Structure 1
Amino acid sequence: MSVTIKDVAKRAGVSPSTVSRVLSNHPRISHATSEKVRAIMQDMGYHPNIMAKSLVSKTTQSLGVILPKPAEELFLNTFFMELIRGIVAQANRSGYDVVLSSGSSEQEEVDAVSRLVYGGRIDGAILLYSRKNDPVVDFLSRNQFPAVLVGRSEQHSNMITVDTDNIQAAADATRHLIQMGHRRIGFVSGPPELVVSVDRMEGFKRALQEAGLEYRKDWIVEGEFLQESGYRAMSFFMNLPERPTALVVVDDMVSFGILRGLYELGYRVPEDVAIVSFNNIALSELSTPPLTSIDIGIYHLGYTASQALIQSIQDKNKVDETIHYQRHIVPHRLVLRESSMFSPSAPMSPPTL
């Protein structure tokens, strides 16, 4: 016979309503009472009926995480795994489960999100990316559904966002290379439809302009956040008649592809090409050479996004038309390593093979 909430209440010497409040993390329940009741629940093997609770409270205690790519491609970049780790850590700490959803096209993503929302399967949603004219953001905003965007929204002023100051971060990365003596600096960007790509390009341009350096379109390459994009970018740069001596790269995984391409062609980093990258994932200090990278606090981005969403769900004043725009900025820092620590003294020339 299964243990009921009344059984737990009787054993704890409290009312069933007190046990219910403990389960919902009610602020008026003392820490001592909460600890006592939870210990008895564990001892008796009591597990709340989530479906029944959901029908009464009209909540699911679940957050939806909307992935930007099909899972098999997404998880090739450890950035997203670390981001999700932060989301799950805060969600679990607050008593929420996490539901992952994705689609291979924008329409499939909208369809997946609509099933979660209209089916009452989640209390709020976290988007792991920010696109221009994003139909998923439009859908969530139109339905006034609690949502947090990891990134910056260009289309909805009432969207809660958690972001890095990507313009400033890219400017910092570029200024470092300028301070090291580089005057021919290229940029390896992400997909142009992503706001993060736009912002980092803007920061790159600003730093060049401040230093009186030329912005050259032939030194700009766009691609996906994958190693293969970096490898292809390197092939492009090496075929130019005049090549940059340094690169700002939008993502560490892309930088790994660049390192592989340079190694195969016989070029040295940082002596022939210096590199500053983004995200500072764990592997960046283990590469050859170790990557100088902008640490954007990936785990904290996810943790803060989860925290902000749960707060908006629990605060009824923030799920109606009076929602105010909130932008949470996670600080960044430049982590210096070997890939950029070289001052060029002469134009780069092909290696002797």
Structure 2
Amino acid sequence: MGVTIKDVAKAANVAPSTVSRVLADSSRISADTKKRVRRAMKELGYHPNVNARSLANRSTQAFGIVMKSSADKALQNPFFPEVLRGISSIAHQLDYSLYISTGETEDEVLESVQRMVYGNRVDGILLLYSMVNDRVMNFLFERKFPFIVIGKPCEHMDSITHVDNDNVTASKEITNRLIDLGHERIAFIGGDEDLVVTVDRKRGYQLALQESGMLLLEEYSVHTEFLKSGGREAVHELFNLPDPPTGLVIVDDLMSIGVVTMLEELGKQVPRDVSIVSFNNIHMSEIARPSLTTVDIHIYELGRQAAKCLIEKMQDESVPTKRIIVPYNIKDRQSTQAREETLL
């Protein structure tokens, strides 16, 4: 006969109801008691019957994760595996299953989300992006279905719980790194202009230039995909200009690596000819040659915080709306140098 809740309760010297509350991660149970109960579960080899709990609670004990693009394309960018690692750490700890929803088109993504909601397959949904006029977000908001956003909602910001960085301030600070190094022709390479993260990071870049008295030149702003190939395409556009930039603010490290590769093909070296600053601090940014000066947005923590907020929302829909800002820090590495040095 298998180990039961009563066996765990006896081993932990608590009531069976306390064990049930620990399984639900109830805030009414102290951290010490939770630790004691979970230790007893591990020692006894107790595994909760998820199906029985789901029926009793009318819960699927699962939540959906939605990416903007297909899994094949999205998972090329290390941001997504890392944020999924943070999400999974909380889901595993609290015994939740994950459904990942993707699609080649906006219609496909919306249909996938609707199937999850209408089919009662999940108790909540976590969006790994925030987009202007997003049909998925509008659908979930109108249905009052529990959902959380990693990023800043374009609309209803005070009514939607979201986990984000201060991307405007971070972008302004990283752009000032180049300005302080003497660069005057600084370009911006962003992702999809419908993505709020691109809008915010471009805004920070613009503020830095404006406050330093520099001109904002439209031809110095290029938008492409958050992929290595996107960075390569941006180089073609910027370095065919009569006065190409000497500094680049790039919204994603993977794009930056593509930029470095393409610049080398054009006979330009980073940072000798062009200085680069970037975002995300993926693993490759540290081992790239040259290593990238980048904003560490703490991707894993974004995932952890978002999963915690969503599970809390699924367990109690009356929980107030939250805005969680995960701190960032800048990693100064080898992809920048003073403009005076590049002229020697």
Q: TM-score, normalised by structure 1?
A: 0.89
Bigger shift: residues 17-26 or 47-56: 17-26
Contact 2:125–2:146 under 8 Å retained in 1? yes
Give the 5 Å matches for 1:145-156.
145-156=145-156
Bigger shift: residues 141-150 or 88-97: 88-97
2:255 paired with 1:254: yes
Task: Describe the shift of the 1:180–1:111 C-alpha distance in structure 2 as closer, same or farther (beyond 3 A).
Answer: same
Task: Describe the shift of the 1:137–1:247 C-alpha distance in structure 2 as closer, same or farther (beyond 3 A).
Answer: same
Give the 5 Å matches for 1:1-353.
5=5, 17-27=17-27, 38=38, 41-42=41-42, 45-157=45-157, 158-318=159-319, 323-324=320-321, 326-344=322-340
The count of residues paired between Structure 1 and Structure 2 equals: 343
Task: Give unpaired runs (5+ residues) of structure 1.
Answer: 349-353
SS at match of 1:204: helix
Q: 1:177: Cα distance to partner?
A: 0.5
Aligned to 1:351: none
Task: Describe the shift of the 1:304–1:12 C-alpha distance in structure 2 as closer, same or farther (beyond 3 A).
Answer: closer
Q: 1:173: Cα distance to partner?
A: 1.4
- Aligned equivalents of 1:186, 1:15: Cα separation in 2: 63
Task: Give unpaired runs (5+ residues) of structure 2.
Answer: none
Q: 1:333: Cα distance to partner?
A: 1.6
In structure 2, give the amino acid aligned to 1:82: E
Task: Describe the shift of the 1:176–1:38 C-alpha distance in structure 2 as closer, same or farther (beyond 3 A).
Answer: closer
In structure 2, give the amino acid aligned to 1:96: Y
SS at match of 1:338: coil
Q: 1:8: Cα distance to partner?
A: 6.0
Task: Describe the shift of the 1:31–1:301 C-alpha distance in structure 2 as closer, same or farther (beyond 3 A).
Answer: closer
Deviations 1:95-147 (A, max 9, x none): 32322111221121122112222222222211000100011111111111111
Task: Describe the shift of the 1:172–1:104 C-alpha distance in structure 2 as closer, same or farther (beyond 3 A).
Answer: same
- Aligned equivalents of 1:36, 1:260: Cα separation in 2: 53
Q: Percent identity?
A: 45
**Based on CA coordinates, which of the two structures has the bigger radius of gyration?**
1
Contact 1:271–1:344 under 8 Å retained in 2? no
SS at match of 2:144: coil
- Aligned equivalents of 1:29, 1:300: Cα separation in 2: 24
Q: 1:204: Cα distance to partner?
A: 0.9
Q: TM-score, normalised by structure 2?
A: 0.91
SS at match of 2:339: coil
Q: 1:182: Cα distance to partner?
A: 0.4
- Aligned equivalents of 1:258, 1:80: Cα separation in 2: 20
Contact 1:183–1:213 under 8 Å retained in 2? yes
In structure 1, give the amino acid aligned to 2:147: A
Deviations 1:289-341 (A, max 9, x none): 111111111111111111121222233422xxxx54x2111111221111112
Q: 1:47: Cα distance to partner?
A: 3.1
- Aligned equivalents of 1:48, 1:113: Cα separation in 2: 28
